[in-house]
Amino acid sequence: DIVMTQSPDSLAVSLGERATINCKSSQSVLYSSNNKNYLAWYQQKPGQPPKLLISWASTRESGVPDRFSGSGSGTDFTLTISSLQAEDVAVYYCQQYYSTPLTFGGGTKVELK
């Protein structure tokens, strides 16, 4: 199984400041034949289901604000919120789809400072 490890477990960020969330996979999720990273990011607000933000490590879903960006390749990935808004308070998860079982990181809770 590919183990996904997120850091930090939580972080407190002031409004308008940058939030950076890391995700590391136990093996590469870069598929060499198409040079794509099989990694997605989700946002989960309290009492709600997760919402897909990013697929292919860096492709934002339609309607997702451009303050959200994904980067990285191979085993190390980052989700960046460039200017935190109050509505961004949530838990963020990464997920690999390189192989089954499909696995998630443990989540990073983003709070307001």
Partner 1 sequence: QVQLQESGPGLVKPSETLSLTCTVSGDSIRSHFWTWIRQPPGKGLEWIGHMHHSGSTNYNPSLRGRVTISVDTSKNQFSLKLTSVTAADTAVYYCARLAAVAEGGWFDPWGQGTLVTVSS
The verdict on 107 binding partner 1 (CB under 8 A) reads yes
For the CB of residue 85, give the shortest distance to partner 1 in the complex, in Å: 22
Instruction: Identify the H or E element spanning 22.
Output: strand 19-25
- Give dist(CA 49, CA 95) in Å, integer: 15
The verdict on 61 binding partner 1 (CB under 8 A) reads yes
The verdict on 22 binding partner 1 (CB under 8 A) reads no
- Name which position in 3, 12, 15, 102 contacts partner 1 (CB under 8 A): 102
Q: Which residues of 32-59 are buried (b: 16+ CB within 10 A; e: fewer)?
A: eeeebbbbbbbbeeeeeebeebbbebbe
Residues that bind partner 1 (CB under 8 A): 31, 38, 40, 42, 48-52, 55, 61, 93, 95, 97-107
